[in-house]
Structure 1
Amino acid sequence: MAKQTGWLVYNGGLNSAKFKEIHEWYRQTAKSKGISLELVANHELMSVMEDGEPVVKSRMNLNQPDFVLFLDKDIRLARQLERQGLRLFNRSEVIEICDDKTSTFQALAGKGLPMPKTIISPLMFDGTKEQDDSFLDLIEQELSYPIVVKEAYGSFGEQVYLVRKREELAKRRKELLYVPHLYQEFVESSAGRDVRIHVVGGEVIAAMMRVSETDFRANVTNGGVMKSYKPSREFCELAIAASKHIGADFSGVDLLFGQDGKPLLCEVNSNAHIKNIYDCSGIDVTEAIFDHIIQVVGK
């Protein structure tokens, strides 16, 4: 049987030592599974509409692989690769939904999954002005202070804010008026702590708790500390359901602790980083990811 081949597509602008280490990590795991994995930056591929057909070209004249491990958020390139008949892990639709927090909550609404009350900010075109503060009134009718404000696009918790009164809400809304964002109820019982669960192929592979003593956000980037954690059945079931409903092959699902200790959905990441969970749990998620890819591509 011929050796399986794959591309790991990454963003060429993210070439720090941290990202290089992760990409090489994936490549070595693939090699151990009998897969030849080529590391390909997104700018090394060119999406072209030629003679009315979608084509992907490369200056390296790469042979078409059996699959693509797509570790970027270049949705247009992902779609173009899929038009070539390539199977992406994760699919372009999954990456797009997870990249936009408003899309994530809309996609999962109506599925019976517990989540914080969430309000999506209406679209405002750059240069236009709100006529009055009526939308602030609507937010205050639905949510109590403090209120969490999240930009739709962002990573590591850096585009997440907490406002405690109307003046702060008005100021933050003015700053984000032309930026897609949402307003969400603050889950006091989970302040400074959450759970990250890695799901691959519909199974929980690894988990950890993140705790911060100084910030309402538990992200490690913002000073949170990782702790070993064995999630309950309820936490596992919610993480699996969220990943399944979005259609993810693998994901990092962030859950909050509700008032009664039950899980609430916070976020679904289509390309969760693997190093922190490994450092905390000792579990190499890349092993499960390639086992899943082999199973799917084999079919």
Structure 2
Amino acid sequence: MSSPLRILLVSARLDRHARQLLTAFEAQGATASLASLSSIGIDTDKPSGLAIPGFGDALPDAVCVRTMDGGSFEAVTRRLAVLHGLKALGVPVSNDASAIEICTDKSATSFRLKAAGLPSPWVVCAETREAAEAALNRAGGPMVLKPLFGSQGKGLKLVRDPADLPGPEDIAGGVYYLQRFAAKPVGTRWTDYRILVSAGRAVAGMRREAANWITNIKQGATALPMVEPDGELAELAVRAAQAVGADFCGVDLLRDTEGRAQIIEVNSMPAWTGLEQATGLDIAAIRAADLLARLKGDTREPETIASLPRAV
């Protein structure tokens, strides 16, 4: 009898999502161990060059990245080097360091979407106020100023005029990331969509609705079921995941004032509380099953919604 597959679950903390993943891997016959990237050492005296808590001199069969610890530029660079190292040693890493680096950097994501020919609002990312002002003048309408490395809707600012721009000393890292404002309200409500992509297919989707244009669940938006399947949004989400090299990600999309689908962001470490509420699906079970299927060489076919695991 073969030994169970050993999964390293990388998470900055043992939050609800990490607990769900540990349970999901165990329920599907694997053993899962939790460690933060900050606790994994690079040690060239070890056979692999890595010191992974709980693994001794062995390597995991696969790595599932839930979240990364925050820290200095040097600390984050070292932690990403751990993920790069694991992949170089032949360990499947999901998502790998390259995908995380691209998705964490909004400008890199925008560049990849553009290179793939995918619809996304016009973006200018620059390090001078002059370049940001020129972008606003060219836009002929409002743009959203976003932190380059931000998430969960924090730090967003709608700017309509160059006078609204903060100075470089007042923005994160001194970098202006400006994205053309493409959202439109439906009556008094604002709405967009989050599509979850796993193993090359769209497995879940929700509509997010809010009283203002910031529609992140963490900012108070409501998670609602998508009233009807939207094949165009699902296809674009899958293509966006391919463009950034992610095998598990949340893709945010909306329809602009002319009804055209636009990809706004790609999140390589998405939370799924809202998706569970909107769909009733067990996202952790889907995540675990897809990674284990990859290890076993199974091809994941698109399931019907009814066949996907449900949350208890």
User: Which bin holds the TM-score, normalised by the shorter protein?
Assistant: 0.7 to 0.9
Q: Does 1:115 align with 2:120?
A: yes
d(CA) in 1 for partners of 2:100, 2:238? 17
What displacement does 1:4 show? 1.0
Classify the secondary structure of the residue corresponding to 1:283.
coil
The letter for the 2-side match of 1:152 is L
Classify the secondary structure of the residue corresponding to 1:109.
helix
d(CA) in 2 for partners of 1:176, 1:277? 31
Pick the aligned partner of 1:223 from 200, 217, 220. Answer: 220
d(CA) in 1 for partners of 2:21, 2:266? 21
Task: Give a deviation string over 1:168-201, Cα, whole Å, max 9, x none.
Answer: 12x2555127433411111142683210000111
Classify the secondary structure of the residue corresponding to 1:253.
strand
Report the TM-score when normalising by structure 2: 0.83
> What CA RMSD, in Å, does the superposition of the two structures yield over aligned residues?
2.2
Change over 3 Å in CA distance of 1:101–1:54 after alignment to 2: farther
d(CA) in 2 for partners of 1:298, 1:45? 26
What displacement does 1:31 show? 1.1
Pick the aligned partner of 2:131 from 135, 139, 144. Answer: 135
Which residue of structure 1 aligns with residue 285 of structure 2? 287
Pick the aligned partner of 1:66 from 61, 75, 83. Answer: 61
Which residue of structure 1 aligns with residue 87 of structure 2? 82
The letter for the 2-side match of 1:275 is T
Task: Give a deviation string over 1:31-80, Cα, whole Å, max 9, x none.
Answer: 111111111122321123559x9711145454321101012334232113
Change over 3 Å in CA distance of 1:33–1:155 after alignment to 2: same
Q: Does 1:23 align with 2:24?
A: no
Change over 3 Å in CA distance of 1:233–1:58 after alignment to 2: closer
The letter for the 1-side match of 2:243 is H
What displacement does 1:98 show? 0.5
Which residue of structure 1 aligns with residue 41 of structure 2? 46
Moved more, 235-244 or 178-187: 178-187
Task: Give a deviation string over 1:196-231, Cα, whole Å, max 9, x none.
Answer: 000111111111111111x21101111211111144
Change over 3 Å in CA distance of 1:154–1:194 after alignment to 2: same
Classify the secondary structure of the residue corresponding to 1:192.
strand
d(CA) in 1 for partners of 2:168, 2:236? 31
Change over 3 Å in CA distance of 1:178–1:36 after alignment to 2: closer
d(CA) in 2 for partners of 1:76, 1:49? 13
After the TM superposition, which residues 225-244 of structure 1 pair with which residues of structure 2 at under 5 Å, given as runs? 225-229=222-226, 230-244=228-242
Q: Does 1:257 align with 2:255?
A: yes
d(CA) in 1 for partners of 2:193, 2:31? 34
Report the TM-score when normalising by structure 1: 0.86
Which residue of structure 1 aligns with residue 71 of structure 2? none
Q: Is the 8 A contact 2:136 2:143 kept in 1?
A: no
For structure 2, list consecutive stretches of 5 or more residues without a partner in the other structure.
Answer: 69-78, 298-312
The letter for the 2-side match of 1:86 is V
For structure 1, list consecutive stretches of 5 or more residues without a partner in the other structure.
Answer: 123-129
Task: Give a deviation string over 1:230-282, Cα, whole Å, max 9, x none.
Answer: 44111111001101122211111000112232310001111111222112210
d(CA) in 2 for partners of 1:166, 1:243? 34
State the aligned residue count: 281
The letter for the 2-side match of 1:82 is K
Which residue of structure 2 aligns with residue 3 of structure 1? 4
Change over 3 Å in CA distance of 1:174–1:80 after alignment to 2: same
The letter for the 2-side match of 1:248 is A
After the TM superposition, which residues 89-104 of structure 1 pair with which residues of structure 2 at under 5 Å, given as runs? 89-104=94-109
Q: Is the 8 A contact 1:228 1:280 kept in 2?
A: yes
What displacement does 1:283 show? 0.8
Q: Does 1:146 align with 2:142?
A: yes
Q: Does 1:32 align with 2:27?
A: yes
Which residue of structure 1 aligns with residue 151 of structure 2? 155
Change over 3 Å in CA distance of 1:209–1:279 after alignment to 2: same
d(CA) in 2 for partners of 1:188, 1:6? 40
